[in-house]
């Protein structure tokens, strides 16, 4: 109901069994195999999260130049400015490097531009203001890679600039004292998915030198983990190590403000997971930047005063509630407008508004992209000029698309999946036409389809126990590149349902395999799902442990659900899957594999119908007749497999049209061994 297509990963029962034999829990083994990590060795390599994964900071291009210039500034007592961004990645990076330089004896001030007044990245006015405050060296974090003119302006004022960033690079780089970005051409650093805070961490470690790297990592792993998860960086390789170390550090963080925020949101006495960062901590830190008050979050992360930290934590939560209210209002307006758009303007959504809050349109763009299965571009207008935020869908490369529209834009930057741009209001119609054409060219004119990736079908509901679900913890930390596992159950019965959370969410009782299962479907209502007790549904879900007042139990967090197929529909779908030679689960192979008796009964029936001409009927009727003749209720799909095997082994010649089957019996000499059938061997190998 939420996704137009469910896409199951190819199953590999034999590999799963071998992984389980190596000590990997069943659900974790199924997930790893679904993602191509189908041996214990591959799994071990992927799941590694130790410090040995961390690369040498000095391997980043220009890191030696950045370290040399910063050490000179520290030695000579220069005024240094750490210039960041107003999102979580930028705020954590700013705080990390500011604190690190201060601990090294530096005279440091941090600067985060106002989202509404200044916009993203370096700007001339800020550079001039910093110079007036005595700054001679600016170090950017999470920004600056496109600041060619601003860096040159700083040089004319007698200032040096060190760029540290992780965004995509344009052909011309700023003429800075150093440009540290893993994406820059010629950078040999092997891991390219560092967040902005990850690059800042590398700089702090490089400054500390080999002897001090471990201490820096321990001190700032919590900030690095928050920024990495919040910026949706791939949680693989080095990022996996950073996030794992950071999650451990968050349990005992020494930052008073961060401790207060964990207390305020109910995480003080619970293990902090990557999901808790993404859905609880990050939105509140982000809210300060979105609402034009990034300094609140920065002060919270830097303060050493517990009372001040508690006050700032409450302020962040208040800002987040304000952000949610504004976001809901803009989103509702956009829904109304999108529904009125002609089809040719819905390959990509380009919407603009005079009164929109610049700080929340990026979130609205994400929600629109998910709802309408296409990229979304939101533009805030003021005095004839627009500031845009865009979010991708289906892997559409936003950065490349904006490059192709560069002649229509005043500027742009960002990632493949999230980006920002500025544009004159008069250019918006042309921009909308070109972006829609870009999407149509990429998709060949076909509509983008919202697809849910499913790691596997749970054939045995007894795996969904506390112990079974806890076995998935070995896959943590989750995030981009390592999403939470999604499984499916088919043919569940809805026993009961009710709305919770003020009517915003749906709580379900499901019956499957003789067990009753609790489930929660967030952001779904009875009206939207049209469910009623007794309905049969297929459910896609992430299993989790629900803790409430000391009670712990398994709960299915529903990703999507849809009406279950009837028996006939399910058999037809399974047979079509078999004919397409798609990977089968053990349960599907079991449902398809005929018994010896079924082969014998069917062959007797065919021999009894032998006549000069072929047996010819509509496919459904013939299958039904054959099933009845075999005396086996519900054997229709296996009857078709029997016919396929007879055809393969030369016993019959079967012709199929859209709606009819024609079967000719063939003259054969001697016995034919059906066990030598390729079809039978394949089905048996899956079961084994």
CATH number of the domain bearing residue 466: 2.40.50.460
Q: Is 203 exposed, middle or buried (0-12, 13-18, 19+ CB in 10 A)?
A: buried
Residue 683 has pLDDT above 70, yes or no: yes
What's the domain range around 290?
A: 252-327
Q: Looking at residue 227, what is its pLDDT?
A: 97
Report whether pLDDT(634) > 60: no
Residues 440 and 461 in one domain: no
Strands (E), 233-375: 349-353
Question: What does pTM read for this prediction?
Answer: 0.83
Nearest CA among 212, 99, 196, 184 for reference residue 140 = 196
pLDDT-above-90 percentage for the chain? 73
Cβ distance 2 to 450 under 8 Å?
yes
On the question of pLDDT at 111 being above 80, the answer is yes
Secondary structure of 464-495 in the HEC alphabet?
CCHHHHHHHHHHCCCEECECCCCEEEEEEEEE
pLDDT band at 627 (very low <50, low <70, confident <90, very high): low
Across residues 123-147, what is the average pLDDT? 96
Residue 69: is its pLDDT beyond 80? yes
Q: What is the CATH number of the domain that holds 408?
A: 3.10.310.30
Mean pLDDT for all residues in the chain: 92
Q: For 318-371, write each residue's pLDDT tens digit.
A: 999 999 999 999 999 999 999 999 988 999 999 999 989 988 999 999 999 999
Give the domain-ending residue among 305, 327, 349: 327
The whole-angstrom separation of Cα 287 and Cα 94 is 16
User: Of 49-63, 372-386, 615-629, 640-654, where does mean pLDDT reach its minimum?
Assistant: 615-629
CA atoms within 13 A on the CB side of 373: 12
Over 90: is that where the pLDDT of 416 sits? no
* Whole-angstrom distance, CA of residue 481 vs CA of residue 240: 10
Q: Band the pLDDT of 615: cuts 50, 70, 90.
A: confident
| CA 366 – CA 116 distance, rounded (Å) | 20
Cβ atoms of 352 and 428 within 8 Å: the answer is yes
* Residues 370, 477 share a domain: no
Is residue 115 located within the same domain as residue 192? yes
For residue range 153-168, list pLDDT tens digits in order.
999 999 999 999 999 8
Looking at 209, 235, 261, the residue that finishes a domain is 235
pLDDT value for 631: 59
Pair 43, 92 in one domain: no
So what's the pLDDT on residue 198?
98
Q: Secondary structure of 601-626 in the HEC alphabet?
A: HHHHHHHHCCCCCCEEEEHHHHHHHH
Please give the helix or strand (H or E) that residue 312 lies within, else none.
helix 306-338
Residue 586 · residue 13 · CB < 8 Å: yes
CATH assignment at residue 179 = 3.90.1640.30
Q: Does residue 483 share a domain with residue 442? A: no
Tokens standing for 563? 């009406």
The pLDDT tens digits of the residues spanning 441-485 come to: 988 877 888 899 999 999 899 999 999 999 999 999 999 889 999
pLDDT at 549 (0 to 100): 74
Report the C-alpha gap between 331 and 230 in whole angstroms. Answer: 22
Assess if residue 244 is contained within a domain: no
Q: Is residue 242 part of a domain?
A: no
Buried b (16+ CB within 10 A) or exposed e, 237-256: bbbbbbbbbbbebbeebebb
Residue 658: pLDDT over 80? no
pLDDT at 656: 80
Which strands make up the sheet holding 135-140, listed edge to edge?
107-111, 79-83, 135-140, 160-164, 178-180
Task: Note whether 66 and 10 are same-domain residues.
Answer: no
What are 75-90's pLDDT values in tens digits?
A: 999 999 999 999 999 9
Q: How far is CA 15 from the centre of its chain?
A: 25
Q: Which of 400-414, 573-587, 600-614 has the highest mean pLDDT?
A: 400-414
Reported as a single tens digit per residue, the pLDDT across 292-301 is: 889 999 999 9
Q: How far apart are CA 151 and CA 141, in angstroms?
A: 14
Question: Helix 282-290 crosses helix 196-230 at what angle (to 10 degrees)?
Answer: 110
Residue 333: its pLDDT value, please? 96
Same domain, 350 and 256: no
Asked if 423 and 489 sit in the same domain, the reply is: no
Q: What is the pLDDT of residues 165-179, one digit of tens each?
A: 999 898 999 999 999
The pLDDT confidence band at residue 573, using thresholds 50, 70 and 90, is confident
Q: Is residue 139 part of a domain?
A: yes
In this structure, the dihedral spanned by the alpha carbons of residues 127, 131, 133 and 138, taken in order and rounded to 10 degrees, is 70
Please check whether residue 257 is in contact with residue 299, taking contact to mean a CB–CB distance below 8 angstroms: yes
| Residues 637/591, Cβ–Cβ less than 8 Å | yes
> Which residue would you say has higher pLDDT here, 651 or 601?
651
The pLDDT score that the predictor gives to residue 316 is 96
- For 529, other C-beta atoms within 10 Å of its C-beta total 20
Residue 481 CB contacts under 8 Å (≥ 6 apart), including other chains = 193, 234, 235, 236, 239
- Residue 195's contacts (CB-CB under 8 Å, 6 or more residues apart) are 89, 93, 142, 166, 224, 227, 228, 231, 233, 239
74 and 189 part of one domain: yes
Q: Measuring CA to CA, which residue among 153, 144, 139, 122 is closest to residue 80? A: 139
Structure tokens at 293: 């008050």
Please determine, for residue 387, whether its predicted confidence score (pLDDT) is greater than 60.
yes
Contact indicator for 379, 350 with CB cutoff of 8 Å: yes
- Which residues neighbour 331 within 8 Å (Cβ) at sequence distance 6 or greater? 364, 367, 368
Does residue 308 belong to any structural domain of this protein?
yes
In a domain, 634, yes or no: yes
Is residue 632 pLDDT above 70, yes or no? no
The confidence band for 635, taking pLDDT boundaries of 50, 70 and 90, is low
For residue 642, is it within any domain? yes
CA distances from 392 to 6, 204, 334, 439, 625 (A): 20, 33, 17, 11, 52
* 633 has pLDDT over 60: no
639, part of any domain: yes
Number of domains observed in the structure of the chain: 5
Q: Is 219 within 8 Å of 204 (Cβ atoms)?
A: no
140 against 601, higher pLDDT? 140
Contacts of 178 (CB under 8 A, 6+ apart): 62, 63, 65, 66, 69, 162, 163
Q: Are residues 583 and 604 in the same domain?
A: yes
pLDDT digits (tens, 9 = 90+) for 513-540: 899 999 999 989 999 999 999 999 999 9
Q: Is the CB of residue 474 less than 8 Å from the CB of residue 240? A: no
pLDDT grade, residue 610 (50/70/90)? low
For residue 225, pLDDT over 90 is answered with yes
Same domain for 429 and 408: yes
Which pLDDT does position 65 carry in this prediction? 98
Residue % of the chain over a pLDDT of 70: 98
Among the candidates 524, 545, 564, a domain finishes at 564
Is there a domain that residue 335 lies in?
no
**What pLDDT does 13 receive?**
83
pLDDT reading at 576 higher than 90: no
Q: Are β-strands 160-164 and 135-140 bridged in parallel, bridged antiparallel, or unpaired?
A: parallel
Q: Report whether 43 contacts 19 (CB < 8 A).
A: yes
pLDDT classification of 630: cutoffs 50, 70, 90: low
**Are 210 and 284 part of one and the same domain?**
no
pLDDT tens by residue, 243-293: 999 999 999 999 999 999 999 999 988 889 999 999 999 999 999 988 888
pLDDT of 688 higher than 80: no
Q: Is 503 helix (H, G, I), strand (E, B) or coil?
A: coil
CA dist., res. 537 & res. 338, Å (int): 31
């Amino acid at each position: 109901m939420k996704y137009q297509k469910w896409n199951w990963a190819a199953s590999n029962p034999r590999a799963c069994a071998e992984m389980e034999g190596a000590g990997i829990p069943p659900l974790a083994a199924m997930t790893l195999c679904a993602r191509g990590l189908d041996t214990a060795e591959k799994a071990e390599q992927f799941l590694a999260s130790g410090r040995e994964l961390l690369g040498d900071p000095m391997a980043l291009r220009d890191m030696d130049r950045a370290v040399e210039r910063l050490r000179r500034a520290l030695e000579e007592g220069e005024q240094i400015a750490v210039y960041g961004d107003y999102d979580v990645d930028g705020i954590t990076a700013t705080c990390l490097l500011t604190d690190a330089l201060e601990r090294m004896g530096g005279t440091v001030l941090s600067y985060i531009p106002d989202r509404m007044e200044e916009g993203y990245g370096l700007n001339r006015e800020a550079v001039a203001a910093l110079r007036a405050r005595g700054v001679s060296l600016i170090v950017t974090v999470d920004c600056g890679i496109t600041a060619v003119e601003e860096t040159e302006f700083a040089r004319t004022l007698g200032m040096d600039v060190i760029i540290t960033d992780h965004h995509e690079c344009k052909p011309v780089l700023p003429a800075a004292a150093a440009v540290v970005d893993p994406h820059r051409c010629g950078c040999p650093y092997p891991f390219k998915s560092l967040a902005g805070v990850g690059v800042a961490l590398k700089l702090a470690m490089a400054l500390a030198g080999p002897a001090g790297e471990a201490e820096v990592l321990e001190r700032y792993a919590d900030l690095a983990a928050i920024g990495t998860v919040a910026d949706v960086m791939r949680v693989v390789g080095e990022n996996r190590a950073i996030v794992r170390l950071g999650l451990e550090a968050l349990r005992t963080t020494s930052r008073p403000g961060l401790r207060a925020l964990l207390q305020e949101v109910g995480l003080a006495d619970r293990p902090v997971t990557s999901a808790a960062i993404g859905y609880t901590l990050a939105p509140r830190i982000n809210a300060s930047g979105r609402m034009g008050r990034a300094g609140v979050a920065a002060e919270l992360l830097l303060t050493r005063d517990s009372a001040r930290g508690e006050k700032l934590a409450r302020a962040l939560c208040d800002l987040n509630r304000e952000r949610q209210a504004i976001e809901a209002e803009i989103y509702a307006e956009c829904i109304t407008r999108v529904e009125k758009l002609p089809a040719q303007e819905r390959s990509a959504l380009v919407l603009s508004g005079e009164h929109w809050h610049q700080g929340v349109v990026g979130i609205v763009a994400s929600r629109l992209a998910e709802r309408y299965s296409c990229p979304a571009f939101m533009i805030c207008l003021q005095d004839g000029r627009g500031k845009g935020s865009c979010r991708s869908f289906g892997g559409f490369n936003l950065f490349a698309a904006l490059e192709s529209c560069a002649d229509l834009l005043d500027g742009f930057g960002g990632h493949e999946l999230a980006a920002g741009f500025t544009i004159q209001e008069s250019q918006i119609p042309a921009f909308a036409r070109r972006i829609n054409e870009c999407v149509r060219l990429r998709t060949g004119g076909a509509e983008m389809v919202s697809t849910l990736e499913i790691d596997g079908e749970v054939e045995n509901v007894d795996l969904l126990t506390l112990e079974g679900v806890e076995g998935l913890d070995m896959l943590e930390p989750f995030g981009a590149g390592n999403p939470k596992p999604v499984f499916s159950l088919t043919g569940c019965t809805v026993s009961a349902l009710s709305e919770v959370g003020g009517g915003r969410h749906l709580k379900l009782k499901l019956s499957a395999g003789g067990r009753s299962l609790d489930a929660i479907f967030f952001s779904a209502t009875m009206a939207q799902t049209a469910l009623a007790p007794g309905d049969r549904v297929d459910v896609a879900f992430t299993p989790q442990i629900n803790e409430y007042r000391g009670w712990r139990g398994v709960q299915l967090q529903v990703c999507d659900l849809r009406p279950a197929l009837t028996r006939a529909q399910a058999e037809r779908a399974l047979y079509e899957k078999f004919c397409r030679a798609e990977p089968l689960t053990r349960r599907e192979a079991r449902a398809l594999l005929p018994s010896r008796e079924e082969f014998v009964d069917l062959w007797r029936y065919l021999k009894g119908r032998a006549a000069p001409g072929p047996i010819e009927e509509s496919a459904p009727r013939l299958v039904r007749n054959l099933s009845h003749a075999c005396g086996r209720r519900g054997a229709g799909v296996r009857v078709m497999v029997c016919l396929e095997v007879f055809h393969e082994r030369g016993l019959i010649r079967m012709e199929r049209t859209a709606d009819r089957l024609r079967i000719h019996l063939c003259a054969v000499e001697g016995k034919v061994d059906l066990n030598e059938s390729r079809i039978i061997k394949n089905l048996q190998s899956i079961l084994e």
